[in-house]
Chains A and B, each alone.
Chain A
């Protein structure tokens, strides 16, 4: 394998013999238009985490793959790739969605917020801070999706959007049952659920104060 074609996936498949080589992901290579028998590339313009980006994509490219493979925003994770686990949750035009189940080309002109856009290591989003304080994760793989979802859930409650467990459809409030129900699209294999709920209640409490 020529060294200028080293990718992280190739590294993992290559095993121990390549383990010592530097894992350099060539930006140019990853962002280059793919050719072959696919349909022509389509230019997509989006605002991602406040930054305008212009990316030509194969129409098949999911929003998730565009974020990860083209823009190298690898905070958003690919779990099941079928909308079942929620690891890919991002916020588009103010709403949380599964980025794996939507095409990048469908979001031309829209605003996307990923975990990288919520906060930085120096300036954490309150929800990120709360996840750390309450130990809302173990392995961390689902965490970016959990946090994006959690941020949007509190906004949905504030907007008065009811849920399956809302007793009176016109009286929407923050409580444990509501948070658990609304977070059911985010699976955590480590089962950090109680601590995720604690983090969310903490942030919701701060907001109300």
Chain B
């Protein structure tokens, strides 16, 4: 691990200012992803700003009946929160499908949104990777791409977004609340928060230097039957090959979001519109524009079959 200096931030404002003023500074929250990458020298911050003690660890109700989740709320606490279990079960389910008990105890809401891809070429510093080293090429395009994305990809990068939590938050139309180095706050719809790779896969979010996530806001509950189905190489503690988050309304409408297949948490309106026509139609709509490799072409069929399983789960609960 490269040497760095360390400070414990005492306020959100001070943390944002420090991050904007020190070249190479990074926030550290749970650290489960950042420290892993620092050991491999994929991340080489010169200065770490510890944001664990800023009081951002509360879950509060918003005036319009939603929920504001502090950026430092641990994945375990969010999944176990009574209100989340009752009103946003798909989010609880998505969180519990991710990582291990130990990691969920440490990993935070804000950090989860910012976690880096699990593309093996991003992790292997001997290989080219446009995300890790812009302009070096993409080892995955002609390489082992079984786990990688088929939607939102580019010639520069086919890395998948690894989060389960973010898929459920995308489904629920959450907003990411931030503060920048000048103390200005903004609320970013989660649909706009993550960037597609295009020619600049190293830019993963719309966050500006120093801008810190303070919370994620969920709109008021939408009711319905909540399902999160994750398909992976082992029964537990593995990243998704395909995951589907769904909420089925009583009126026959439904909404869907997908993990494991997109360069970012994936959701398209056409898939929601196809809900009444079943799994095959939803899969077709969701997969419009999919670009697969020899290794990950199977994901298209897996999406359809996972959706079929999601529909069956809904029927079993109805």
Please report A residues at the B interface, Cβ cutoff 8 Å: 37-40, 42, 58-60, 62, 81-83, 86, 89, 95-98, 101-103, 105-106, 108, 149, 152-153, 156, 159-164, 166, 169-170, 180-186
List 10 tightest A-B contacts by C-beta distance, closest first.
A185-B100, A184-B236, A184-B237, A59-B6, A38-B3, A169-B85, A164-B96, A95-B105, A161-B80, A60-B1
Shortest B76–chain A CB gap in Å is 6
| B6 contacts A103, C-beta separation under 8 Å | yes
A82-B102 CB under 8 A given contacts A39-B4, A185-B237: no
| A102 contacts B106, C-beta separation under 8 Å | yes
| A82 contacts B97, C-beta separation under 8 Å | no
| A103 contacts B85, C-beta separation under 8 Å | no
| List of B residues within 8 angstroms of A163 by Cβ | 96, 101
How many residue pairs link A and B with beta carbons under 8 A? The number is 110
Give the docked Cα–Cα distance between A120 and B72 (Å). 36
Shortest B246–chain A CB gap in Å is 16
Shortest A76–chain B CB gap in Å is 13
| A160 contacts B80, C-beta separation under 8 Å | yes
| B106 contacts A182, C-beta separation under 8 Å | no
Give the docked Cα–Cα distance between A149 and B102 (Å). 8
| B102 contacts A162, C-beta separation under 8 Å | no
| List of B residues within 8 angstroms of A156 by Cβ | 76, 101
| List of B residues within 8 angstroms of A98 by Cβ | 32, 102-103, 106
Interface of A is mostly: loop
B282 at the interface (CB under 8 A from A): no
Q: How many residues of B contact A (CB 8 A)?
A: 36
Give the docked Cα–Cα distance between A62 and B99 (Å). 20
The 0/1 profile, CB within 8 Å of A marked 1, for residues 71-100 of chain B is 000001001100001100100110011011
| A185 contacts B102, C-beta separation under 8 Å | yes
A86-B96 CB under 8 A given contacts A39-B6, A101-B35: no
| List of A residues within 8 angstroms of B236 by Cβ | 164, 180-181, 184
Shortest A110–chain B CB gap in Å is 10
Please report B residues at the A interface, Cβ cutoff 8 Å: 1, 3-6, 8, 28, 30-32, 35-36, 39, 48, 50, 52, 76, 79-80, 85-86, 89, 92-93, 96-97, 99-103, 105-106, 235-237
| List of A residues within 8 angstroms of B235 by Cβ | 181, 184
| List of B residues within 8 angstroms of A183 by Cβ | 101
A59-B5 CB under 8 A given contacts A106-B31, A162-B92: yes
| List of B residues within 8 angstroms of A185 by Cβ | 99-103, 237
| A83 contacts B36, C-beta separation under 8 Å | yes
| List of A residues within 8 angstroms of B96 by Cβ | 162-164, 166
Taking a contact as CB atoms closer than 8 A, the residue among B28, B102, B105 that contacts A86 in the complex is B102
| List of A residues within 8 angstroms of B99 by Cβ | 185
Taking a contact as CB atoms closer than 8 A, the residue among B8, B31, B86, B237 that contacts A101 in the complex is B31
Give the docked Cα–Cα distance between A159 and B77 (Å). 11
Q: Which residue from chain B places its CB closest to the CB of A82 in the assembled complex?
A: B36
| List of A residues within 8 angstroms of B85 by Cβ | 162, 169-170
Q: Which residue from chain B places its CB closest to the CB of A96 in the assembled complex?
A: B102
Taking a contact as CB atoms closer than 8 A, the residue among B3, B32, B97, B102 that contacts A39 in the complex is B3
